[in-house]
Amino acid sequence: MADVDFNSLPFDQQVEIFDATPLLEAPPGVIPDYEHPYARNDVTIAVTVVGLAFTTVIYTLRMYSRMFVIKRFRIEDYVGMGGFATYVALCGVLGALVHTGGFLAHQWEVLGARSIEIAKLVQVQTTLYNISMMFTKVSILSEVSRDRRLAISAIFSSGILSIAFAGARVSVSIRTLTQPDFLWLGSQSILFGLAEMTFAFWVFCIPAIPKSVHGSQIAALPRYLWSKVRSTATLAKKPSQDSGSSWPISDKTPLPENANKVIGENSRQINNSRNPEKKRSKSSVSQQRRTEPSAANRILRTTDLLASVDSTHENANESGNNQGLEKNQHPWV
């Protein structure tokens, strides 16, 4: 092939040669594996999933605060929507790059047949990165200009981390100018750029998180869980049937012979101590009963009887019925 001018070959033959040729010659002593190239797909997937998960959570809290607590949208909220949408799209592009097998892999194990697809996805990723960072930075500037009472420590920490990952991205990008393994170094630069975007988006979303928490029941959740733990611990300390308690609670344990008498006396003492007036009234009633005469020595009730005879009945007696009337009269009449 060295003696043949590549440009003089037919296009179809040029394509075949390009597809079967690795993008970089392997270093001495390294045997490339074109079927299963070495690629750190696990690192790419972990970084992408963790960054997307945390960013989605804090962005959801910010939107909750704007929709249900403050109930007002500003210009930075609409701009932030664009930044979040491009961020999610960039994570999807990273997933597609992992699928090609050429992301975070060495360039001498990647054939030319896959290089076109990788180059297209890298270009899309670069475009989405620039758009997302533009939206996010504009949102941060607008947020800071409106509200100066922000969570300064959290924003400062996120901002420092974003700047640190941006510096790492620039450093790796500079190394690609002198080292030919562009896929390996370029993939690292893309991951550092994703981390930079993540913490920059956190700077935009963090100021709204306290409002969203205080405006919902989330703030009361730790106090509720702590009360449940304390109540459970208190119940666990109470004596049970198997703990050797001095108070038997089994129904089969016989009671002492004088138990009812002792219980009755204790109940009367408790009632008397609670109701002293009732005690005095009961004692006065019993004393009054002792001073009164018994029922056998006094008259309980008197009844007066009145007997009357009708004049008509007297005439009937005079006519010869006196004997029947006398038979019906009482002996004391």
pLDDT digits (tens, 9 = 90+) for 102-135: 788 888 988 888 888 998 999 999 999 999 999 9
Specify the pTM.
Answer: 0.60
Per-residue confidence (pLDDT) for residue 161, from 0 to 100: 85
User: What are the tokens at 25?
Assistant: 């010659």
Cα separation, 15 vs 69, whole angstroms = 60
Whole-number pLDDT of residue 275: 53
CB contact at 8 A, 67 and 129: no
**What's the pLDDT at 314?**
46
Domain ranges of the chain: 6-214
Phi-psi region of 12 (alpha: psi -120 to 50; beta: other; left: phi over 0): alpha
- One-letter amino acid of 322: N
**Predicted pLDDT of residue 271:** 56
Report the candidate in 153, 158, 149, 148 with the shortest Cα–Cα distance to residue 204: 158
| Amino acid of residue 323 | Q
Q: For tokens 């893309």, what's the residue?
A: 190
Q: Which amino acid is at 103?
A: F
pLDDT of residue 92: 95
Which residues fall within 8 angstroms of residue 206, CB to CB, at 6 or more apart?
58, 150, 151, 154, 155, 158
Spans of the chain, pLDDT less than 50: 1, 241-251, 262, 279, 281-282, 285-286, 290-292, 294-296, 305-329, 333
